[in-house]
Amino acid sequence: MRIALAQLNYHIGDFDGNLARMEAAIREAIRMKADLVCLAELAVCGYPPQDFLEFGDFIRRCEAAVETLKSLSREIAIAVGAPVVNPVPEGKDLFNAALFLAEGQVRHVHHKALLPTYDIFDEYRYFEPGSGFRVVEWKGTRIALTVCEDIWNVGNENPLYTRCPIDEMMAGRPDLIINLSASPFSHAQSAERRQVLRANALRYGLPLFYVNHVGAQTELIFDGGSTVMKPDGTVYAEMISFGEEIRVFDLGEVIRNPGEGPRTQDKITSIHDALVLGLRDYFRKLGLSRAVLGLSGGIDSAVTAALAVRALGPDSVTGLLMPSRYSSGHSVEDARQLAQNLGMPYQVVPIESPFAAVLQAVAPVFGDLPFDVTEENIQARLRGMILMAWANKFGAILLNTTNKSEMAVGYGTLYGDLCGGLSVLGDVYKTEVYDLAAHINRDGLLIPPNSIQKPPSAELRHHQKDTDSLPPYDELDPVLRLYIEERQGPRELIAAGFDEALVNRILRLVNTNEFKRYQTAPVLRVSPKAFGMGRRMPIVARYLS
């Protein structure tokens, strides 16, 4: 039995495009003499389709795609994920299914039993859990066909579910496990996934073929990393990360031969590569190619620009330098140097004259009230306005450069520096932005040392520093990480040795700035807990605030 894993970049709702991509992979698998080709979870429509699943028209198009795949299964068996209608009136209208197509027929249907409904996942919103699990036999080989989370109730410390579908399939004496997945990247995911695959192989003593999506869908980045696991829980092969790949594996060889072992990538490299893919796919899937961003001379905009240049090419990324009366001379110079290093175009648009005009317009209303955060915000909003004007005039998308630490504590101006169609660093803490800068500078000095070394400042008033308003980032980030990623409360944080006043101050900042995060751009997700769809918080709450 020769099994092909096709790790493809789907596009939500692009039925023609997805079908063309799958068809090419199927032809390639036939050429490579595979008996079976495995496509990913909900491959026909892309993942996550979200509320499009509630539209009958959308489901009909999924069914039409399956019909086409069925006709392609005369030459090769196909395992593919698709939503299928629940024939029973009780329960949710759909199942999240893995279809086994062969000889032009649907030979077997598995309904996903474990429906992830946490963090970024909402599957019980749409799907009825499956029950009654059987194996499918093809060319004398018995296959335990599963979908993603179905194998995640093994080997992890926090069992979210009360059942385990493969346990039931074991009555059918399967020869191997296939898992069609849609498992998004985080810097912790690859190791955790390998551990779960290993636990399954060991528990059942079976080889396991795991195929994942690759490519980004707005905030979610799928890294691929499709894996073949030997029955002894060692890695036979891992496919590439962040790219499409089709590979064929011989079942006998997987069982007999030693494996290649796992691929490994350090955390910052994987975040870097994920962000580049996230950027590239956001533009490509929206059919746009030009990006614009503000270059302040600081490290966040420098790292964002470098990532954008790698994703889109230097000619497609324009930087705007928008000095005000409070900008230091070196800021403009650092930004100019960065643009030159990256080979990207830049333009200088001073905001001094519109700033003066706005102050004059509001003067009759504000009278002689003192300068405060209002005037700081006006500068940030003027920059946002000019960037958006550039984006409108030249058909570009504005990139947001805010980092996760700033997003967390609300250190940013709504409709100002929080503008943008996509937040590139919104899931990267400030201390990690420095690591990304070092990574980018590994093969040559792209980000000017001055942008890395100078104390962070918004430069919205004279001699301003971030530390005027915030704790230093090396004190702030550990508390943020424990609160946001680990859901530790004030009691745990203080018990862990953090200063009580510091903890209370930080948690209050996070909770009272939910209203800003509600209105900011989608954030490319690279951590296990990103702002956005994976973290849902009420705005008017009165808790730790």
Window 245 to 274, contacts with a copy of itself (CB under 8 A): none
Q: Is 347 in the site for a copy of itself (CB under 8 A)?
A: yes
* Counts for the chain of helices (H) and strands (E), in that order: 18, 19
Please give the size of the binding site for a copy of itself, defined by CB under 8 A: 97
Count Cβ atoms within 10 A of the Cβ of residue 433 and give its class: 0-12 exposed, 13-18 middle, 19 or more buried.
Answer: buried
Is 516 a catalytic site residue?
no
Q: Is 11 in the site for a copy of itself (CB under 8 A)?
A: yes
The strand ranges marked E within 420-541 are: 422-423
Q: Is 508 in the site for a copy of itself (CB under 8 A)?
A: no
Residues 67-96, interacting with a copy of itself (CB under 8 A): 89-92
Q: Is 349 in the site for a copy of itself (CB under 8 A)?
A: yes
Per-residue contact string for residues 15-54; x = within reach of a copy of itself by CB under 8 A: --x----------------------------x-xxxxx-x
Nearer to a copy of itself, 108 or 404 (CB): 404
Which listed residue (152, 209, 282, 326) binds a copy of itself by CB under 8 A?
Answer: 282
Which listed residue (224, 233, 421, 426) binds a copy of itself by CB under 8 A?
Answer: 421
Gap between the Cα atoms of 484 and 513, Å rounded: 14
Q: Is 120 in the site for a copy of itself (CB under 8 A)?
A: no
| Cβ at position 374, least distance to a copy of itself in Å | 4
Q: Which of 349, 338, 334 minimizes the C-alpha distance to 390?
A: 349
Per-residue contact string for residues 477-506; x = within reach of a copy of itself by CB under 8 A: ----------xxxxxx--------------
DSSP 38: E
Q: Is 385 in the site for a copy of itself (CB under 8 A)?
A: yes
- Bridge partners of residue 142, in order along the sequence: 137
Active-site residue identified among 38, 45, 112, 230: 112
- Bridge partners of residue 179, in order along the sequence: 146, 210
| Cβ at position 56, least distance to a copy of itself in Å | 6
Which listed residue (208, 246, 414, 476) binds a copy of itself by CB under 8 A?
Answer: 414
Which listed residue (28, 188, 366, 467) binds a copy of itself by CB under 8 A?
Answer: 366
| Cβ at position 378, least distance to a copy of itself in Å | 6
Q: Is 315 in the site for a copy of itself (CB under 8 A)?
A: no
Task: Residue count of the chain, please give it.
Answer: 545
Which one of the spans 55-63, 97-105, 202-210, 302-310 is the region binding a copy of itself (CB under 8 A)?
55-63
- What is the phi/psi pair of residue 506, to 5°? -70, -45
Is 112 a catalytic site residue?
yes
Tokens of 494: 């203080």
Gap between the Cα atoms of 118 and 536, Å rounded: 10
Is 148 a catalytic site residue?
yes
| Cβ at position 75, least distance to a copy of itself in Å | 29
Q: Is 382 in the site for a copy of itself (CB under 8 A)?
A: yes
Active-site residue identified among 38, 45, 148, 164: 148
Which one of the spans 183-191, 256-264, 413-421, 432-440 is the region binding a copy of itself (CB under 8 A)?
413-421
Gap between the Cα atoms of 65 and 15, Å rounded: 7
Gap between the Cα atoms of 71 and 93, Å rounded: 26
How many other CB atoms sit within 10 Å of the CB of residue 522?
A: 20
Nearer to a copy of itself, 230 or 381 (CB): 381
Which listed residue (25, 97, 332, 378) binds a copy of itself by CB under 8 A?
Answer: 378
Q: Is 541 in the site for a copy of itself (CB under 8 A)?
A: yes
CB 315 within 8 A of CB 381: no
Place of tokens 């039931």: 168
Nearer to a copy of itself, 400 or 405 (CB): 400
Gap between the Cα atoms of 151 and 155, Å rounded: 9
Angle between helices 299-312 and 267-286 (to 10 degrees): 60
Gap between the Cα atoms of 68 and 534, Å rounded: 34
Count Cβ atoms within 10 A of the Cβ of residue 312 and give its class: 0-12 exposed, 13-18 middle, 19 or more buried.
Answer: buried
- Bridge partners of residue 217, in order along the sequence: 220
Nearer to a copy of itself, 431 or 513 (CB): 513
Nearer to a copy of itself, 12 or 452 (CB): 12
Count Cβ atoms within 10 A of the Cβ of residue 501 and give its class: 0-12 exposed, 13-18 middle, 19 or more buried.
Answer: exposed
Q: Which residues are catalytic?
A: 41, 112, 148
